[in-house]
Structure 1
Amino acid sequence: MVSQFGDKDKDRQNFFTQNNSCTRIDVFEELSPTNEAALRQFFRRLGAPQYVDEVIIPTLRLGDASVYAAVRDRPWPPWGLGARTFSAVCVVHNVAPESWAPSPVFTADEEGTNIGLIGALYKEVLEALAVSRTSEVCYLAAEGSVLADRVLERNGFRRDDDVFMTEHARYFTYRAPAHELLSNLRLDDVSVPDLLAYDFPAEVLDRNALYHLGILLGARPGLTDRQRPEIIDLARGGHASKPGGVPGGTGTDLGTDQFGGLLGELPYVSLGRFLGSDAENLMRNVLEREEKFQPATVLPFGSTSPFVDERRRRGRTLDDVGFIYDAFVDRLKGALPGALSRMGIEGFPVGRIELQVTASGDGDYYRMHRDADAESTRALSFVYFFNAEPRRFFGGELRMYDDRGVEGVAHANCSQLLTPRQDMLVIFPSRLPHELLPVRVPSQKFADGRFTLNGWIHRAEKC
């Protein structure tokens, strides 16, 4: 391997040699007292002490998250609290099956140009993710970005049409396979010790310097609560690019048509104790039919046949619901006039009513979508929640978005998050963007998952 310094300088120490020689890369999913003290000191020195309590600790508590840190321990006693310092930190968390959102590699000010250290830390991140060939890395960059767009696309990221809107800008999701990013940054053929020792080709330095400094500078305004960062955190449950979506049969992708009016309260109704004692019978009948459930499908606008696409939706559905259809639909029709009145929707002639059961197990989700476009006869969607008692899953919230008045883009600042509650029915317009956030079932058992009776009320077609 040819060093960036050339043969005549191979014995010369670079500026960071001494510090890097006593640095190791650690990864942890929980904060010990020693690591928490070092982490708080690190972000306090960056001028962002709130980042630990507002971002890192909540992210770790949600699970599927890790902190990668460049660590230096004091070589003399006393050891313990205060004896450890971090010189670089990267926080990585899962936003969907096989999709991961790493933070920028934050560095202490004196390490800001230590590309060997930054590359070593990021190599550890990518190698951990690249164990799965389908694992991908995701960032959110603002519409109109120049440097961020250039840096990401040069290293193999592709921009999706998923949009997250804040009060300052629209942000698009950029994705790249982890193993390809490792190769594009030329980190696949150089070891962590060589990176720390700056024993690597100049191309590695060039690629990693532009990549990491571009991402860090784009995200830095958000770290210190300043407005209009070019790159923002990609958080679970907060935007269109991450998985979600209410389980809704063959729900369609988010379209571009819009409601009239201004942003305001979302039109939906929730009704508790909807089935009462019949909920227990429903659960028993569903569990008896476990083997009849099929992989959930999607139906994009313009398509005629539903198909399985786990990048958009994961779950299982049961269409044979004759055991509950009549009883459920009778109650639904009885509740409909009051629900329409509360949502401010004029009554309409009711046509057919579709109904299915959706079972959401560990890691299942449905990305943001609508159940109808302007030409569909689907008028209202409904979701009825039920589960085994006591409840043995977490997550799986239903999130609904308002896109009125913003050119069909779901507005994250005007959304409603509904936690699944036993025997609760939710009714909302089928054109309302919505998503199912990822479900976690620690036992991995079918019976312990999140269940819904979901479907659509159609307008009667004109003869």
Structure 2
Amino acid sequence: MSSQTSAAVQTVKVTLLLAGGHQYTLSLPSNSPILVAVMKVLASQTGNTVNNGSSPSQLFQIPLNDDRQALCFPSHQLIGVLTEPPLYVQQQKAQQMATPAPQPPAPVSHTITSRFVHLDNFLSDKECDRLLKYVKKRQKDFTSTTTSTGQADYRHSTVLYHFPEFSEMIVERIKGMMPEVLPQLDRPLFEPHDIEAQLTAHNDGHYFKLHNDNGSPDTANRELTYVYYFHNQPKNFTGGELLVYDSTIKNGYYAKADTYQRVEPRHNSIVFFLSRYLHEVLPVRCSSKKFTDSRFTINGWVRRSS
């Protein structure tokens, strides 16, 4: 493959022309293994056909739109390629091309940054004060948390599942925030099918190890996770940060990257992120060990219709 422009790596606008009148446009580096392989297929098909066995078909799998989609097609469906700036294939047999025959392209794997929205002053000062007083009165009603797998030492905290005095207000307020939050998470607007809410307390030594929130059949339609933070002022604990991990695509599935976004549990703030993101709560340190000094949250999930 050769170019009329300089040999330096540049971005090439590529339009793939496929059988059946389909076409797809994407941008690739001029040294991309995918681009080299596509041009090599074009060259190898000169004077040959797949059906005669001289040019075996190759499967292309090209990620699109920040890995939210993938274009897959067998090489024998490739009719032509439009490139800008122009790239040319030497009209010779594949083994005589000016560029060495490339190795099969390695699977594409790169980091996808996890987005989140973190907003302050979710409740008014009066509402927040009432909530703190309410939580302290309901201390005896909090129970130990569990996980769906029943795995020991994976999550330690206490939870209150029924608190209609505040949950209804929280749910309605979150529902009204969807037009603001969803575009910032690059998600289309939708009417929530259900919004869940629970009240959680993390005290000394409490944590929640790495997990996502929609990895089982009964949680699969959870679209967004939210966490509202509140606590005594001044704060009497440390730690308890939320780590939201970036993603990579491995074998067609989302997997944890080594990088992450750190969310501080700021008083009277709320954070939203996609429920599929892997995340964890770091251990809390509360020297007083008093329930009233806990890291309190109202957390839950926004579900879309199945």
Regarding TM over 0.5, the answer is yes
Partner of 1:198: none
Written as runs of structure 1 = structure 2, the 5 A alignment for 1:179-328 is 260=68, 262-277=110-125, 278-300=127-149, 307=150, 309-328=151-170
Letter in 1 for 2:225: S
Written as runs of structure 1 = structure 2, the 5 A alignment for 1:35-50 is none
List per-residue Cα deviations over 1:67-123 (Å, max 9, x = no partner).
xxxxxxxxxxxxxxxxxxxxxxxxxxxxxxxxxxxxxxxxxxxxxxxxxxxxxxxxx
1:392 counterpart = 2:236: yes
Written as runs of structure 1 = structure 2, the 5 A alignment for 1:44-443 is 260=68, 262-277=110-125, 278-300=127-149, 307=150, 309-373=151-215, 375=217, 376-406=220-250, 407-413=253-259, 415-443=260-288
Q: Please say if residues 175 and 192 of structure 2, whose CA atoms lie closer than 8 Å, have aligned partners that are also in contact.
A: no
Normalising by structure 1, we get a TM-score of 0.41
Q: Please say if residues 260 and 405 of structure 1, whose CA atoms lie closer than 8 Å, have aligned partners that are also in contact.
A: no
Q: Partners in 1 of 2:254 and 2:112 — Cα distance?
A: 15
Secondary structure of the equivalent of 1:325? helix
1:451 counterpart = 2:296: yes
How big is the alpha-carbon RMSD for the aligned residues of Structure 1 and Structure 2? 1.6
Q: Partners in 2 of 1:398 and 1:427 — Cα distance?
A: 12
Q: How much has 1:359 moved relative to structure 2?
A: 0.4
Q: Partners in 1 of 2:174 and 2:247 — Cα distance?
A: 27
Letter in 2 for 1:274: F
List per-residue Cα deviations over 1:42-90 (Å, max 9, x = no partner).
xxxxxxxxxxxxxxxxxxxxxxxxxxxxxxxxxxxxxxxxxxxxxxxxx
Letter in 2 for 1:442: S
Q: Partners in 2 of 1:442 and 1:310 — Cα distance?
A: 24
Q: Please say if residues 295 and 315 of structure 1, whose CA atoms lie closer than 8 Å, have aligned partners that are also in contact.
A: yes
Secondary structure of the equivalent of 1:447? helix
Specify every segment of 5 or more residues in structure 1 that has no aligned partner in the other structure, as ranges.
Answer: 1-258, 301-306
Q: Please say if residues 113 and 247 of structure 2, whose CA atoms lie closer than 8 Å, have aligned partners that are also in contact.
A: no
Secondary structure of the equivalent of 1:404? strand
Q: Partners in 2 of 1:342 and 1:427 — Cα distance?
A: 10
Q: Which has the higher contact order (CA 8 A, sep 6+)?
A: 2
Number of residue equivalences: 195
Q: How much has 1:372 moved relative to structure 2?
A: 0.2
Q: Partners in 2 of 1:408 and 1:344 — Cα distance?
A: 17
Q: Partners in 1 of 2:289 and 2:261 — Cα distance?
A: 28
Secondary structure of the equivalent of 2:128? helix
List per-residue Cα deviations over 1:287-338 (Å, max 9, x = no partner).
10000000001113xxxxxx4x441000000001101012111211111111
Q: How much has 1:374 moved relative to structure 2?
A: 7.4
Q: Please say if residues 260 and 404 of structure 1, whose CA atoms lie closer than 8 Å, have aligned partners that are also in contact.
A: no
Specify every segment of 5 or more residues in structure 2 that has no aligned partner in the other structure, as ranges.
Answer: 1-66, 70-109
Letter in 2 for 1:293: F
Q: Percent identity?
A: 33
